[in-house]
Chains A and B, each alone.
Chain A
């Protein structure tokens, strides 16, 4: 498998990137660490004419924390840096722990926080080489009108799932992103960022890109991400469960990854936990309700039934580890 031919530019400023994007639009792709983009290019699921590399822009590489502003992460911060930075380990250790779960050590050195956040949704029928996909008609994600993960009827839905570990945790932490483009800058909460559709899960336009990720300051009594996967490295999550408990508001945020095109959160169900005391019974009810709302299909590693079951089990495990008596 070769890479297709492409032009490559690595501008030195954010404004230069914006200018390139404004001009090239759909024909360009942003490259952060490249650990996903390069593979997609080799498999011909993405074939940009112009690849815009961000590694020459120092403003995208910073990592800072303040009590008032929270944790500010440049999108080009590597996962390895995130895992080892004391500002992260001291203030949001869940991010450091989760960064170490992504891929293998090599991915953590090359992969970035921004890249992980923007990870394209995944499916066994999509993430295959061009040769493999040759005998299948294009699915929704490739511009067609079917879904191969659903046998039988011609499904109108795309079931590719959001499989980013750090991205899911950022969502659970209530993070915001700064999108820069020729329009200037805008700050968007991740909930809105993931408000796209099945084929294009984020609302990011083709002429904008992430220039900052902000995790608001918050005191957490518990924050952990659970990633069941067959192997201890390389694998994407079969499902992911994040539990973040705020010390002040006594609110509990549960985010499930790899079950939907975006990290899934069920705020209405979270309202169950509005009292200060949580019982095991409530947790079990919550877990059962969440599980009943998600639909897993056979398009990633792990059987659909097992993945749903693990959501239930891990929600309970998370609350137990937080302190709810089982």
Chain B
């Protein structure tokens, strides 16, 4: 059962007045079908005459491909084709840096890289055929860490990048030297964050089939079906009109399934064999295939005035790209800049390097570079608070960004309830009491205080809602259709991958049209039939997609008013849209030339109106179109990196309460309070679910998850050894949804999909610090690390660090 959801509203002037759908907690439209097993995922789709595809992966971290002999595999009865790079157009792809091939061409650069694909009549034959493909490799020395990548004489992974640096740049604002010089207190630390795997439960099964005129249809669990379509067209050197992508129900994406590799391979196989094909993935494949979170080493130095004001922030980030870039360059931009806007900081210097290694390529995972830097900064802020003898909540409150600020990077904060989030989280968690009564850090010898110690810690966060990711149109388009059957259909290309945007769109359309939610449906997502959409990422779908839906519904209303005016033979300005009906207003005392006064107060329901005209004029679609991208948002300027980058910004404060076992180092979570400024909760039930789900991932990031390597191989490619939290490690947090009413969003909404895990790790780290006086600067905070730190501290009894 869902926990209690507390919704706090600011400026409740128009909020919730007469709202039928917006703000009403609603289970997801497909919740029942998901829990009863009726929902149709890619894995549930079987195409007649389908082949099975299997993928041969590289066993080496870095090797030259000398020779591939597929003849024995081809001869196996039941094998239809074996494909290597030679069978592809060999067009490099990538989101900005195009360094990747569909199948390895002359080199493999990480363990697990796709080298060949087999298509056979059944799965066993396909897997057996993999064993018969002979690949002669010449092993090359490999680069297994970013520091190895820099050492003189390090192996070159990509010839075009002889230093193994995919990207490097510097961002400067204000005067860092002056800022640091003026500081009364300077704190410096190095933080390390590992790869963590998105861990979506639905494995990536993709299907492809070839139809009339060689048009390829692909079924994939993609969060950006249109971009997937374009990518398939790109790598196969086809016009986009020859590719169609269908997205069924998706079991989670978390940013990692924009362009599932299996979809590209399925399309390749189908286009060669002219037959349908299905490629499955097991969890071992998923660990290799789904791009984990960007790993990084972050050196951070901050300067503070003695009243706690932040005067300077200097950062050096070395990020692990893995073997290919994918979207890591964009994640890194987030790491480099986003947290700077959480507080009012004028003097900033940030140096970043994105470094190739012969490890699994990193990419996008919920949070997109933000959790990494928040771990560093929110931990360091606590260290500074200690030095300055300030309450950690107070130092954040003091420096907090506020509404109408223009930050050092030019972000225009159109709505912000950060201070309110901090206050509410503090109240709900009883911060003041626990902060003073629970064991405090550094004072006594931790060994004597009893086996378990409790601590409470806070961290804040800023995230975007709808970052501008295109120079051209970067928003969303939606269509809303009113049908004579008495239904409204919302047609959108923005993908629901489990986060619930379908339900949000339905509620928005229902609200705008004054209809009950049951009468609004969402059309299946098919790139042939839906408007082009960029997809689900960057928390854009509610704010941009949702507003497009609202505008489309508003467009429908305008058309309905026109029709009603015709129906009642009155001027349009006498027609009022009210509760899914159109009513003729009384014209008042003025003589009304040409209009029939008896029409006054007559009304007709919108469906009756539509049916009336359909019957007389043929079914003309009553179709509303909405397109939305707010003004004043710029595309990244590569030189200055300055400008208002997103439609809106979201904020949060999370308070973690922990209990540390001083003998074993085991950390237990006692409670969590999450206060999130999401603008407006269109669906409070789903918003709470997003926070809870993200929190679970944040807990994993903080306390146990880590993709571990042994000589380039992922050592723990299963949920047995990769410590995804179970229900025993997660908990039901107190969720406080704070509504700051964003002017750019539908009904004031921004987004809440990613923020739930951004401040979680530092909140936990800060709570552990409060409990024990030890500061762990490398995630995950395992019992091993805690115990080692406690032992080290016991040896320093008497010295204060």
- Which A positions have Cβ atoms within 8 angstroms of B? 1-2, 104, 124, 128-129, 131-132, 134-135, 228, 230-236, 301-303, 305-306, 309-310, 313, 317
In the complex, which residues of chain A have a beta carbon less than 8 angstroms from the beta carbon of B704? 230-231
Nearest 10 CB-CB pairs, A to B? A232-B728, A135-B59, A306-B784, A303-B784, A233-B726, A1-B282, A313-B663, A230-B723, A230-B704, A233-B728
B434 within 8 A of A: no
CB distance from A128 to the nearest CB of B (A): 8
Q: Which of B757-797 contact A (CB under 8 A)?
A: 782-784, 787-788
In the complex, which residues of chain A have a beta carbon less than 8 angstroms from the beta carbon of B344? none
Q: Which of B261-269, B472-480, B713-721 has 4 or more CB atoms under 8 Å from chain A? A: B713-721
In the complex, which residues of chain A have a beta carbon less than 8 angstroms from the beta carbon of B719? 234
- Other CB < 8 Å A-B pairs besides A301-B723, A306-B784, A317-B663, 8 of them? A134-B59, A135-B713, A231-B726, A231-B728, A233-B726, A234-B720, A306-B787, A310-B664
In the complex, which residues of chain A have a beta carbon less than 8 angstroms from the beta carbon of B710? 124
B729 within 8 A of A: yes
**Given the contacts A2-B124, A132-B713, A230 and B664 also touching, CB distance less than 8 Å:** no
CB distance from B281 to the nearest CB of A (A): 10
Q: Residue on B with the closest CB to A104?
A: B726
B725 partner, pick from A2, A128, A231, A317, beta carbons under 8 A: A231
B84 within 8 A of A: no
B20 within 8 A of A: no
In the complex, which residues of chain A have a beta carbon less than 8 angstroms from the beta carbon of B783? 228, 230, 306
12 A-B contact pairs sorted by A residue (CB < 8 Å): A124-B721, A132-B717, A135-B59, A230-B703, A231-B726, A233-B727, A233-B728, A234-B719, A235-B720, A302-B784, A306-B665, A309-B787
Q: Residue on A with the closest CB to B717?
A: A132
* Total number of residue pairs linking A and B with CB closer than 8 Å: 64
CB distance from A219 to the nearest CB of B (A): 30
- Bound together, the chains give a CA A235 to CA B724 distance in angstroms of 11
**Given the contacts A124-B721, A234-B720, A301-B721, A228 and B282 also touching, CB distance less than 8 Å:** no
Q: Residue on B with the closest CB to A1?
A: B282
Q: Residue on A with the closest CB to B666?
A: A228
B463 within 8 A of A: no
- Bound together, the chains give a CA A91 to CA B704 distance in angstroms of 37
**Could you give, for residues 700-714 of chain B, a 1 whenever the CB lies within 8 Å of some chain A CB and a 0 otherwise?**
000110000010010
- Label chain A's interface by main secondary structure: loop
Would you call B284 and A132 a contact (CB within 8 A)? yes
In the complex, which residues of chain A have a beta carbon less than 8 angstroms from the beta carbon of B784? 302-303, 305-306
Would you call B664 and A228 a contact (CB within 8 A)? yes
Q: Residue on A with the closest CB to B122?
A: A2
- Bound together, the chains give a CA A305 to CA B787 distance in angstroms of 11
- Bound together, the chains give a CA A303 to CA B780 distance in angstroms of 14
- Bound together, the chains give a CA A317 to CA B663 distance in angstroms of 9
Would you call A231 and B284 a contact (CB within 8 A)? no
CB distance from B128 to the nearest CB of A (A): 10
A129 partner, pick from B284, B726, B729, beta carbons under 8 A: B284
In the complex, which residues of chain A have a beta carbon less than 8 angstroms from the beta carbon of B59? 134-135
- Bound together, the chains give a CA A104 to CA B724 distance in angstroms of 14
Would you call B715 and A124 a contact (CB within 8 A)? yes
B57 within 8 A of A: yes
- Bound together, the chains give a CA A313 to CA B663 distance in angstroms of 7
CB distance from B113 to the nearest CB of A (A): 13
Q: Residue on A with the closest CB to B56?
A: A131
- Bound together, the chains give a CA A134 to CA B57 distance in angstroms of 11
B452 within 8 A of A: no
- Bound together, the chains give a CA A234 to CA B57 distance in angstroms of 29
In the complex, which residues of chain B have a beta carbon less than 8 angstroms from the beta carbon of A310? 664
Would you call B664 and A313 a contact (CB within 8 A)? yes
Q: Residue on A with the closest CB to B704?
A: A230
- Bound together, the chains give a CA A230 to CA B666 distance in angstroms of 8
In the complex, which residues of chain B have a beta carbon less than 8 angstroms from the beta carbon of A230? 703-704, 723, 782-783
B127 within 8 A of A: yes
In the complex, which residues of chain A have a beta carbon less than 8 angstroms from the beta carbon of B284? 1, 129, 131-132
In the complex, which residues of chain B have a beta carbon less than 8 angstroms from the beta carbon of A306? 665, 783-784, 787-788
- Bound together, the chains give a CA A230 to CA B127 distance in angstroms of 35
- Bound together, the chains give a CA A305 to CA B782 distance in angstroms of 13
Q: Which of B630-660 contact A (CB under 8 A)?
A: none
CB distance from A113 to the nearest CB of B (A): 21
In the complex, which residues of chain B have a beta carbon less than 8 angstroms from the beta carbon of A128? 717
Would you call B663 and A234 a contact (CB within 8 A)? no
Q: Residue on A with the closest CB to B725?
A: A231
In the complex, which residues of chain A have a beta carbon less than 8 angstroms from the beta carbon of B57? 131
In the complex, which residues of chain B have a beta carbon less than 8 angstroms from the beta carbon of A235? 720, 723
CB distance from A206 to the nearest CB of B (A): 28
CB distance from B231 to the nearest CB of A (A): 26
- Bound together, the chains give a CA A233 to CA B726 distance in angstroms of 7
CB distance from B60 to the nearest CB of A (A): 7
Q: Residue on A with the closest CB to B728?
A: A232
Q: Residue on A with the closest CB to B726?
A: A233
**Given the contacts A2-B127, A301-B721, A317-B663, A232 and B729 also touching, CB distance less than 8 Å:** yes
- Bound together, the chains give a CA A262 to CA B5 distance in angstroms of 51
- Bound together, the chains give a CA A79 to CA B674 distance in angstroms of 38
- Bound together, the chains give a CA A151 to CA B282 distance in angstroms of 29
Q: Residue on A with the closest CB to B61?
A: A135
In the complex, which residues of chain B have a beta carbon less than 8 angstroms from the beta carbon of A313? 663-664
- Bound together, the chains give a CA A103 to CA B192 distance in angstroms of 31
Would you call A2 and B782 a contact (CB within 8 A)? no
B123 within 8 A of A: yes
Q: Residue on A with the closest CB to B128?
A: A2
In the complex, which residues of chain A have a beta carbon less than 8 angstroms from the beta carbon of B729? 231-232
- Bound together, the chains give a CA A317 to CA B452 distance in angstroms of 13
In the complex, which residues of chain B have a beta carbon less than 8 angstroms from the beta carbon of A104? 726
- Bound together, the chains give a CA A132 to CA B713 distance in angstroms of 8
- Bound together, the chains give a CA A228 to CA B783 distance in angstroms of 10
- Bound together, the chains give a CA A306 to CA B710 distance in angstroms of 19
Quick one: which of A104, A230, A232, A306 has the most chain B CB within 10 A? A230
- Bound together, the chains give a CA A301 to CA B783 distance in angstroms of 12
B60 partner, pick from A135, A228, A231, A236, beta carbons under 8 A: A135
In the complex, which residues of chain B have a beta carbon less than 8 angstroms from the beta carbon of A1? 282, 284
CB distance from B724 to the nearest CB of A (A): 9
In the complex, which residues of chain B have a beta carbon less than 8 angstroms from the beta carbon of A233? 726-728
CB distance from B793 to the nearest CB of A (A): 15
- Bound together, the chains give a CA A124 to CA B111 distance in angstroms of 17
In the complex, which residues of chain B have a beta carbon less than 8 angstroms from the beta carbon of A228? 664, 666, 783
- Bound together, the chains give a CA A236 to CA B57 distance in angstroms of 29
- Bound together, the chains give a CA A233 to CA B723 distance in angstroms of 10
Q: Residue on B with the closest CB to A304?
A: B784
CB distance from A171 to the nearest CB of B (A): 23
Q: Which of B325-364 contact A (CB under 8 A)?
A: none
CB distance from A313 to the nearest CB of B (A): 5
In the complex, which residues of chain A have a beta carbon less than 8 angstroms from the beta carbon of B111? 135
- Bound together, the chains give a CA A234 to CA B722 distance in angstroms of 11
